[in-house]
Amino acid sequence: MSHAAYMAQAIQLARKGWYTTRPNPRVGCVLVHDGQVVGQGSHLKAGEPHAEVHALREAGELARGADAYVTLEPCSHQGRTPPCADALVEAGVKRVFVGMQDPNPLVAGRGLARLETAGIQVSSGLLEDQARALNPGFIKRMQTGRPWVVAKQAASLDGRTAMASGESQWITGPEARADVQKLRAASCAIITGVDSLLADNSRLTVREPGFTQLYGFSQPLRVILDSQLRTPPEAEIFQQSGSTLVITQQASIKNRVEQRGALQQVGAEVLAVPTAATATGLDLSAVLLLLAERNCNQVMIEAGARLTGAFMQQQLLDELWLYLAPKFLGSAARGLLDLPGLESLAQAPQMQVTDVRAVGQDWRFQLVKN
């Protein structure tokens, strides 16, 4: 097999931790000795051994003189687990092929330098695009201090998300709704607005056993943007496993003490961010910074046209999963995104389509920011 083939195998191993490694990056490792794979590893859960350690344990003495293929630069710092660069040195590997350099400032080339200092041959950038695609959220948080933001919307072919009355269950079919569970499960947090919560009494949980029964899985943090603290304490969202954060403004923290206390009584955490002229009255950039400080790599927006449109218009949206159902709801129905102030095509936000596929009777478009 070629070097690229072994790295492709490591990338597949990294994907085993797609729903469970947060806030850590997804990493895979393959050890090859005399043309034979002698060790394989995936990082599955934060605080537990990294991919390199699992592969080294499997290889045992065969790791000495072996080639290591790792999707991300081995860590060089002492965190919740010992440095993987040191483990590779102590095991006596001969060469290390790395998919990409670690964007974490605590590593950022130090792992590669540690290997080279020990006399190990190092090659970086093998299948780098595929390696980077494993961790868009982790990379963005390390480089910018913000999480990767993905929105989900479901609409008719004429771009409508609900009837004028607000009726929206269900525009898309069961296959599309099940597909959304993948996006929820891969997210560190799910953001909604209080208006959407009041309309749908949504739970914002991952319910598919294929995800919830994975080793290391935990429910994403549920986040409600609620500047006036209108969220009812009896809402279904507070009856679910996992944590719920209500983000409001400082004036509501001060003036709505009883309501804040009622939300805290049902287990919610209530925090304030600065205000801004947005659909929620809250500074959306500050919301994202707060979540990044909590080590959120990927944030999902599951909300209505106003809030999703505000993220889009402020260029805070990195990716959109748009499900289109083969039906028409008419001109009186509610639109897909609220984008006030657009007066010309030149002002229109534009995204790049990266994938289109059928999901049951519906179509899913994946788009990323240009």
HSE-up (13 A, CA, CB side) for residue 82: 9
- Are 92 and 121 in contact, with CB atoms under 8 Å apart? no
Residue 211's CB is within 10 A of a number of other CB atoms, namely 18
Residue of 48, 52, 208, 302 with catalytic role: 52
Secondary structure class of 130 (helix, strand, coil): helix
Q: Is 319 a catalytic residue?
A: no
CA distance 280 to 361: 34
> CA separation (Å) from 73 to 12, 129, 131?
16, 14, 11
Write down the residue that tokens 């939300």 correspond to.
263
Least Cα distance to 319 among 158, 72, 147, 101 occurs for 147
In sequence order, what DSSP letters do the residues of 234-289 get, joined into one string? T-GGGGSSS-EEEEE-HHHHHH-HHHHHHHHHTT-EEEE--B-SSSSSB-HHHHHH
Write down the residue that tokens 């050890």 correspond to.
31
| Residues with a known catalytic role | 52
